[in-house]
Amino acid sequence: MGLNIKGRSFLTLLDYSPQEINYLLKLAADFKSLKRAGVPHDYLRGKNIVLLFEKTSTRTRCAFEVAGYDLGMGVTYLDPGSSQMGKKESLQDTAMVLGRMYDGIEYRGYEQKVVEDLAKYSGVPVWNGLTDDFHPTQMLADVLTIQEEFNDVRGRKLVFLGDARNNVANSLMVVSSKLGMHFVACAPKQLMPKKELVDKCKEIAKETGGKIELISDPSKAVKNADVLYTDIWLSMGEPDELWAQRIKLLKPYQVNQKLMKQAKKEAIFLHCLPSFHNLETTVGLEIYEKFGLKEMEVSDEVIYGKQSRAFDEAENRMHTIKAVMYATLK
Ligand code: CP
Ligand code: NVA
């Protein structure tokens, strides 16, 4: 494919054409094969990247680190406690300094504007590792996982159940519209995505053959679905005081076996992770003690069940992030 995205930042999939997204997915599948076959692919030897995390992470951080090392790059990790950013140094100055030392910057944090400003002032490719609005690298892993199951994703129906205005749901709606998928946001009215983004995605979907729907009734929404997707009910950065209200609103949207059965027989389950599906986390235990809920957005049975691809999806974070870094830095 004759596509060239060298030098570009990866801030939201709204900036990428369907062809460019498909190019990255193909590249990710190729990198996955190389990794599985044990073939070295340190094509970016001599380059260096920095990972800035203002929120916690397991998958995204590890995916960037391992992908960076596999590509032969030097990798620096900075958390909020160990850099001057924000407290003693402005974002613009930080970006201007990092751009002098590094070939690429990953950023996870709060406002989307921050990742955009980093790209503006650093002069090097910046990759969005999650903001309050979007989580674009997650989407590539999700679509790669769906492709591995169904080959062609066009026309496939993906239903997101939960807080449908969060970063993951927003990005799923964007990628679905770009790739001609049928996206359903399934949530109570208060937690539906913003109209402005829905309208934008509907416009895009018109050109790609995709479809965007907002449906509050879970049984109706999952009918004929190929993919059921959920995410935690309270995202990073949201106050703990919201748990009570969120649980009340979202309890009917839990993905359990009963709901899975109402989708297509061959449907798969996806979750970006981390997930609250048992009492083996401190937060999960606190919620149980306060609200009597043992499982939240997904049942143990579903996440560990035959239809779950959540852990393939987690692995695919690494292959897809590798593709993004390679394509923008090579
Ligand atoms: N899915 C995801 O972004 O996971 P982390 O928060 O662990 O990076
Ligand atoms: N919506 C979640 C995604 C975590 C990967 C959050 O922002 O916390």
Token digits of residue 157: 């129906």
Does the pLDDT of residue 319 top 90, yes or no? Answer: yes
The DSSP bridge pattern shows strands 104-108 and 48-53 to be parallel
The DSSP bridge pattern shows strands 74-78 and 104-108 to be unpaired
Q: Of ligand 1's atoms, which has the minimum distance to the CA of residue 63?
A: 8
pLDDT tens-digit map of 131-149: 999 999 999 999 999 999 9
Q: Of ligand 2's atoms, which has the minimum distance to the CA of residue 231?
A: 1
pLDDT at 80: 75
Longest distance between any two alpha carbons in the chain, whole Å: 56
Does the pLDDT of residue 1 top 60, yes or no? Answer: no
CA 58 – ligand 1 centroid, Å: 6
Q: What is the CATH number of domain 138-315?
A: 3.40.50.1370
DSSP codes of every residue in 73-121:
-EEEEE-GGGS-BTTTB-HHHHHHHHHHH-SEEEEE-S-HHHHHHHHHH
Burial 130-141 (b: 16+ CB within 10 A, else e): bbbbbbbbbbbb
CATH of region 13-134+317-329, choose from 3.40.50.1860, 1.10.600.10, 3.40.640.10, 3.40.50.1370: 3.40.50.1370
- The domain ranges of the chain are 13-134+317-329, 138-315
pLDDT tens-digit map of 77-88: 998 788 888 788
pLDDT tens-digit map of 202-250: 999 999 999 999 999 999 999 999 999 999 999 999 999 999 999 999 9
Helix, strand and coil in the chain, % to nearest 5: 50, 15, 35
For the CA of 141, the nearest ligand: 1
Cα(17)–Cα(143) distance, integer angstroms: 15
Q: Which residue has the tokens 């599985």?
A: 36
Closest-CA residue, ligand 1 atom 6, reads: 57
Q: Is 13-134+317-329's fold the same as 138-315's? A: yes
